[in-house]
Amino acid sequence: MTIGSTGDHTWRHRMWRHLCSTYGGPFTLVGPRETLYDKAADSPASYAYADPDFPRGHLAGWGEGWLHMAPLIGEAVRTTRADVLLVSLGLIDLGFYTNAEQTAQNARAFVAGARAANPRIAMVWLPVIHNVRAANDPPFAAQVARFNELLAKTAADLDEPASPILLASVPPTWDIDTDTYDGTHPNANGEHQLASAFAEAMYQGWELGGEYTP
């Protein structure tokens, strides 16, 4: 959802454009990775962004979820001096690696690692959004619903004044037929929807930025 594939703008780019026009101060996107995923070559080494003229740093990986990011987040926060983490994870975990309860535990490990590196780190989490597998696989849909419930409880449980956690709202108009190119990964419409979810959470929760306008 976050790394993007060859030819995408990515929702990170849409978020960057939004903050450029609304934040009113210096900021940048950071992370130890900069690449997209090249599906044709089956390689995570593409730089073929639709618009490469933006800070491309991120920590996303094709096929990587909370399970994979929990051990990496501490070093990433330390080396990039990140202040705010925007997190869209969980679909791949539930689909291939873990169940809802295990994924919620990995979210807790992720928070512990991030806070060990920066005790004042702030985070915005996006629940797992609707996708084609959930539409066609009722047991998987139940796992998604269960995880999103646990994620909300985890965010409420771990939220601290010095290190706040916001739970973004799933875009109410998200439609896998119009917002994705394959039932899962966002097209241009979907990129704006995801960027809007994070932008609205930060604006309403912290008065950071402003209302999102595509």
Report pLDDT digits (tens) over 53-99.
999 999 999 999 999 999 999 999 999 999 999 999 999 999 999 99
Q: Does residue 175 lie within any of the structural domains?
A: yes
Q: Is 211 inside any structural domain?
A: no
Q: Name the burial class of residue 96, with classes exposed (0-12), middle (13-18) and buried (19+) by CB atoms within 10 angstroms of its CB.
A: exposed
List Cα–Cα distances, 30 to 54, 84, 85, 194, 213, in angstroms: 11, 10, 10, 18, 23
Q: Specify the pLDDT at position 187.
A: 97
Low-confidence spans in the chain with pLDDT less than 70: none
Calpha distance 65→94 (Å, rounded): 9
**Model pLDDT, residue 1:** 86
In angstroms, rounded to a whole number, what is the distance separating the alpha carbons of residues 131 and 182? 9
Is 18 inside any structural domain? no
pTM: 0.96
pLDDT of residue 27: 97
Q: Which pLDDT value is given to residue 182?
A: 95
| DSSP state letter for 96 | I
Query: 151 phi and psi, to 5 degrees?
Result: -65, -40
Domain count, the chain: 1
Predicted pLDDT at 101: 98
At residue 214, the pLDDT reads 85
Phi and psi (nearest 5°) for 181? -100, -5
Q: Is 109 contained in some domain?
A: yes
Domain containing 190 equals 64-206
